Amino acid sequence: MRWSTRQLAEAAIAVALSVALGMVKVYQLPQGGSITAGSMVPVFYVALRWGARAGVVVGVLVGLVNFLLEPVFLHPAQFLLDYPVAFGALGLAGLVRGTPWLGVVLGGAGRFVAHFLSGVVFFAQYAPQGTSPAVYSAVYNGSYMLPEVVVSVILTLLVLRAVPEPPQGA
């Protein structure tokens, strides 16, 4: 993929904005995960504007920067699932560019699945006695991902309405 200057600039701004918005935590869970001030919206914006490939690249970069700022490393597979895979999955929104709300839900679901798998495999010890690690991971990750996706749908639709389409060939 060859990136135009405009795409590179928007991608860089999206990474920086996503990381900055991620620092504004409305609600933080004890072992990680939070409801933020719309930190996924810049990745969704890029994916819906420039396509899934661009969205995945920006998402992976956001995940890597998030790891650098707040690292949680238990195992290489956990690192991959919780950072580049989870945030890269947000770029899947670009697969359904004609229906932005569905793209946001798809990208959010992709991120949820990555965190869910990581939770089942690497964070099972936090499950209360007698609780299935799968149930624990689904409830734990769903408790912040569902509200985060709802907020992201609303904010992404507002941003897309406010920002004009790029000129053809840009």
Q: By the 8 A CB rule, do 63 and 83 touch?
A: yes
**Domains in the chain, ordered, with CATH?**
5-162 (1.10.1760.20)
Strand partners, 28: 34
Maximum distance among all alpha carbons in the chain? 58
3-state secondary structure of 169: coil
Per-residue pLDDT tens over the stretch 86-97: 999 999 999 999
Q: Give the other-Cβ count within 10 Å of 162's Cβ.
A: 7
Could you list the pLDDT tens digit for every one of the 170 residues in the chain?
A: 799 999 999 999 999 999 999 999 999 888 778 999 999 999 999 999 999 999 999 999 999 999 999 999 999 999 999 999 999 999 999 999 999 999 999 999 999 999 999 999 998 888 999 999 999 999 999 999 999 999 999 999 999 999 887 666 65
pTM: 0.94
- Tell me the C-alpha distance between 136 and 122, whole Å: 12
| Whole-angstrom distance, CA of residue 104 vs CA of residue 43 | 10
Answer yes or no: are the C-beta atoms of 43 and 92 closer than 8 Å. no
